[in-house]
Amino acid sequence: MPLTETQSAILALIAERIDAEGMPPSQTEIARAFGFKGVRAAQYHLEALEAAGAIERIPGRARGIRVLQPPRPAQAELAFTPNAPNAAANDDHALRVPLLGRVAAGLPIGADNAGALEADDYILLDRVLFAPAPDYVLRVQGDSMREEGIFDGDLIGVHRTRDAHSGQIVVARIGEEITVKLLKLGKDAIRLLPRNPDYAPIVVKPDDDFAIEGLYCGLVRPNTSRLSR
Q: Which of 8, 149, 20, 28 is nearest to 69 (CA)?
A: 8
Which residue type occupies 143? D
Catalytic residue among 37, 144, 184, 205: 144
Residue 177: φ, ψ to 5°: -100, 145
The single residue of 181, 184, 187, 225 carrying the catalytic annotation is 181
Any alpha helices (H) in the chain, and if so which ranges? 5-21, 27-34, 39-51
| Residue 228 bears catalytic tag | no
Contact 224, 1 (CB under 8 A): no
Q: How far apart are CA 60 and CA 188, in angstroms?
A: 37
- Distance, in Å, from the CA atom of 22 to the CA atom of 50, rounded to the nearest integer, reads 20
Task: Name every residue whose Cβ is closer than 8 Å to that of residue 160 and which is 6 or more positions away in sequence.
Answer: 135, 136, 213, 214
> 146: helix, coil or strand?
helix
Compute the chain's Rg from CA coordinates: 19
What is the distance between the alpha carbons of residues 104 and 155, in angstroms, rounded to a whole number?
11
| Side chain identity, residue 12 | A
Contact predicate 125/152, CB 8 Å: no
Is 205 in the active site? Answer: no
Active site amino acids: 144, 181
